[in-house]
Amino acid sequence: MDVQGYRWVYWRVWLCRWGAVLSLGLLLILFHWRPRLAVRARCCSCPLALADVLLLRDSFGQRYVVEVLTEDMEDSSMELVADLEDSDWRDTVQLHREEKTLLRYYLFEGLRYVWLARKGAFCRVSVLNEDWTCNDLYSFQRGLSHLEQSSRKKVYGPNLIDVPVKSYMRLLVEEVLNPFYMFQVFSITLWMVDKYYYYASCIFLISLLSISVSLYETRKQSTTLRSMAQLVTNVTIRRSSGEEECVSSVELVPGDCLLIPQEGLLLPCDAVLLAGECMVNESMLTGESVPILKTPLPAGEGRYSSQAQRRHTLFCGTQLIQARGGSSDGGGATAVVTSTGFFTAKGDLISSILHPQPINFSFYRDATKFLFFLGVVALIGTIYSLVVLSRSNATWTELVIRALDVVTIVVPPALPAAITTGTIYAQRRLKSQGVFCVSPPRINVCGKVSIFCFDKTGTLTEEGLDVWGVVQAGQAGFSELLPDPRLLPAGPMLSALACCHTVALLEGQPLGDPLELRMIQSTGWELIEPEGDQKALDAEFGGHRVLAVMRPPAQEVSVSEAGAIVRRFPFSSSLQRMSVVTVAPGGRPALAFIKGAPEMVASLSLRETVPEQFSSILRNFASEGFRVLALGYKPLDGKTDWRTLERGVVERDMQFLGLLVMKNMMKPESGEVINTLKLAQLRTVMVTGDNILTAVNVARNCGMMGSDERVMFVHATPQTAQSTPKLRFHLGEGGTQGTMEVLTEGLYQSGISYHLAVNGKSFSALCDYFPEYLPKVLMRATVYARMAPDQKTQLVKELQKLNYRVGMCGDGANDCGALRAADVGVSLSEAEASVASPFTSKSDNISCVPLLIREGRCSLVTSFSLFRYMALYSLIQFCSVLVLYTEKTNLGDLQFLFFDLVLVTLLAIVMGRGGPSEEVHPRRPSASLLAVPMVGGLFLHTSLIVLGQLAALFITKSQDWYVPLNSTKTGAANLPNLEDTSVFALSGYQYIIMAVVVTKGYPYKKPLYHNVVFLCILLILFAVMTWLVLCPGPVFSRLLQLNNIPDMNFKLLIVALAALNLLTCFVLELLIDHGLLSCRLLRGNRPSKKKYKQLDLLLSDCPSWPPLNQALSSAQYTVIGLS
């Protein structure tokens, strides 16, 4: 973030105040719209250390103005804090000549930034605890004193995620000062001066109603978000004196020692668990409905990171269901506060809702540019009206009023609201089908998605797994597959299956990972947790602190011993494993068990214990789609202090026990959805943490890969001390020698379709050492396996660099980063709405993905139609006014009102009601409002509109009964007259005609007849206009100031002219849809600007890529560039 400092110059401040008075407040309005101008007008640039005001510019180019705040600090408090922390604490103060200690800081988007003199910059206050090590956190277990806590609170601020709820008066002032409403005020004033009293009054009432609704909705949303974000509760903390004190959660600061009761609580801060275990429901943050077991942070000198040590971190806003093992009686847990307020995980997510990143979407960018285009049209119309009216000897007052009136007509005030109408309808339809959206603008983005990434387990396949069997490892190799683990002999393998897990009990019911639940169930062992007297259970197992006990079935007690779990190291996606330490009754023997990815467990096991057939057996199971886990164990010294035992010590030199084979069934909807997306020419990609062969099998079964398509594996190795980075491609299963020869001759020319499969390690090596090859791999890779959460996020961002619109669908948890990074993130969760992603689906399958794409396309097309309609409505009225100005007359007050309210507003409201098409069409709709078909279409339609109105006028003038209007009068004073009546009649039809023409149906929306309300209103309005043209009657003729023309043949001719106008506009629109104004016809077959399309074209002409079974070096091999 770019920060510039300014300080007040008081003579400039007073000069601006005088300027505001002399300009009647217009200068203040300008400063409100452009705060940067206000700063530069009132202040002068200065070093940041002396600044009173800061001008910020973020990475998106948006500018903000913030004021530097100060707070008095007690010298003794700061000295005490400085003794506790590193020297950065001292940097947060500035000593003035009065020896007063001041803390200088500013608040931006809820975050506090403090001045660090040594760094010469304002830094996030969280930087003060970024370097805490695990041992540092353990040192805080003693608690903070009152003085320490007070000092930290002054620096960190209160522990509040405070969503501002503005008063109605402030909201009213801000709303009225919005450029849109300022334009409305200007327009209403102008119409009142021009004596359009009825029209001005109606628009005033509508604007007032609109403001009232907007204020109510804005305040309601702020209040709802505040109630969801703000959490104030009483918590118990430990003081440095050893006393326990109940305080408000607002008082919490980083470093406080938090005591968690056994029954749990809703956590008001981020904290790291130091003693005991907690069962946590994180669905509000991640969308993951399965509770997670959190374990104590291992001690050590390593730097603490909330993401790296996620399984030891308790996040703000999550529900702690139960806590145990943290006190002498076995209840509760102990944690240390690490982050408060907006610096917590929940605060970060709330901030992303309050201050969303601007969506880089051409539709929204072009909308603003299009308003400037209409402004140019208004300027041309203003010049024309000035020329025409000056020839008619109009007064200067009339010239100014008429010229400004043209501006109010050309730039429709309802245009911004029209953009959101289609989105609102789509959001309602999605909600009715169980899909909830926290970012409505992204609904339109769904319509442009070009690639969709899917997690595997729980998304494409069922969450739960069935145990297929167990394969034991021995000196002679692997045994035969044993279908029922209960048939295993008593020994380490059976104990590993029963004990190596993080399942816990809640009210007697086991909770945890579905895989682990099925694994325990398959053994028949019973999970028991300490209740009541913890010491009795501890004594049974040698006095060790027992977390849980696994007891064999009654019939096996004679051959199998119970095992007590005394230490857990939970599963980590980055480590791809978990482990536990158990003891038998009496405390001996002590055993460590490990469970995880087979490759990882094998690498941590003694080489002589891993059978030679390991790779082939694993490949066979994985290629058949089985989920395979490996298990291992090793004896430990029973005298070891398990609380200080490091994970690295436990998880090495293991003895390989064997494989657990589980069947992960495909969800029945997955294949159908993938097929639908492929038919729509949308790329589908699998991103999973599972084995690469298992992922390839699932990809084949769900249709991402055809049965006749080849798989090529990508192996990239990083640089080491002994070798340079290498990249290799080799053919997967099913490759014969003949196929190999064909492939090497040229993959594209031979017509053989292939897919690349990459694992997490190779992906990281590609990103780090082979950036020139990465885009080409991304273009053809369908399976990404063994991907860590941060790698999933990186993959999404790399795809976006190729100009893909990326969709991501997962079930929360490990997918959170990717879901938030994607253009369209869909979380499959039972929660009604999760802030982990823009979209949350209550369904447990991916059937919501085609629905989102169809609704997105429908919404985008609807927004386009409404935008075009509002623009054409303005242009129709613009043409009518200029034609009538030429004839020294104008539309009447109630005529404007009839057009704007009865015709246009009514049609615009119901136009967007049509639902999406049942199919996903292969072609995506356009998202550019400035494309040649869009702008050219408006120009051609406007030409037909002008021709139609001029034809009506000339036909009227050619009649024998035509009487010219009174040339001594101008404007509406000349009503009623024949010229106005004829133009009114045809332009009234044109408003309805354009609603029919721009309302698109197939292939993105249901046909017009499905929108029954819109169709009925069209027919009614056509009937009303026909009635007003043919026989309006004396009452309505007088109200609308229409001339009563007795010639029925003339009236029928006007109706026929309107029908011809409808036919020509409809045919023109059909021609535009079929490519009349397409870029290819106008400028030839130019390549696409999207990088992935350019690269796809270049790859199709490159027969030598990818080179099979060759070692490529980053420095020695040149790839086709993207430019």
Rounded to whole angstroms, the Cα distance separating 23 from 18 reads: 9
Coil, helix or strand for 185? helix
Q: Quick check: 440 and 672 in contact, CB under 8 A?
A: no
Specify which residues 825 forms β-bridges with. 808
Q: Quick check: 866 and 419 in contact, CB under 8 A?
A: yes
DSSP 293-333: EE-PPPPSSSBP-TTTTGGGEEPTT-EEEEEESSSTTSB-E
DSSP 780-808: HEEEEES--HHHHHHHHHHHHHTT--EEE
Rounded to whole angstroms, the Cα distance separating 313 from 300 reads: 16
Rounded to whole angstroms, the Cα distance separating 770 from 1113 reads: 8
Amino acid (1-letter code) at residue 603: S
Q: Quick check: 640 and 582 in contact, CB under 8 A?
A: no
Amino acid (1-letter code) at residue 334: T
713-728 exposure pattern, b = at least 16 Cβ within 10 A, e = fewer: bbebbeeeeeeebbbb
Rounded to whole angstroms, the Cα distance separating 504 from 603 reads: 29
Rounded to whole angstroms, the Cα distance separating 1114 from 1033 reads: 84
Active site members: 455
**Residue 408, H or E segment:** helix 396-410
Strands (E), 50-100: 53-57, 63-67, 69-73, 93-95
Starting from the edge strand earliest in sequence, which strands make up the sheet with 234-238, in order?
A: 244-248, 234-238, 257-260, 333-339, 270-275, 313-314
Name the pairing type of β-strands 451-454 and 806-810: parallel
Rounded to whole angstroms, the Cα distance separating 1110 from 458 reads: 37
Rounded to whole angstroms, the Cα distance separating 558 from 1018 reads: 84
Radius of gyration of the chain (CA): 36
Q: Let me know if 1068 is exposed, middle or buried by CB neighbors in 10 A (0-12, 13-18, 19+).
A: middle
Q: Quick check: 54 and 2 in contact, CB under 8 A?
A: no
Rounded to whole angstroms, the Cα distance separating 756 from 696 reads: 10
Rounded to whole angstroms, the Cα distance separating 76 from 97 reads: 18
DSSP-derived letter for residue 221 is H
Starting from the edge strand earliest in sequence, which strands make up the sheet with 53-57, in order?
A: 43-46, 2-8, 53-57, 63-67
Closest C-alpha to 313, from 353, 345, 265: 345
Rounded to whole angstroms, the Cα distance separating 1103 from 1084 reads: 27
Listed in sequence order, the residues at least 6 apart from 368 whose beta carbon sits closer than 8 Å to its beta carbon are none
Q: Quick check: 363 and 418 in contact, CB under 8 A?
A: no
Amino acid (1-letter code) at residue 718: P
Closest C-alpha to 788, from 1027, 455, 557: 455
Q: Quick check: 1023 and 1015 in contact, CB under 8 A?
A: no
Name the pairing type of β-strands 292-294 and 257-260: unpaired
Rounded to whole angstroms, the Cα distance separating 745 from 75 reads: 78
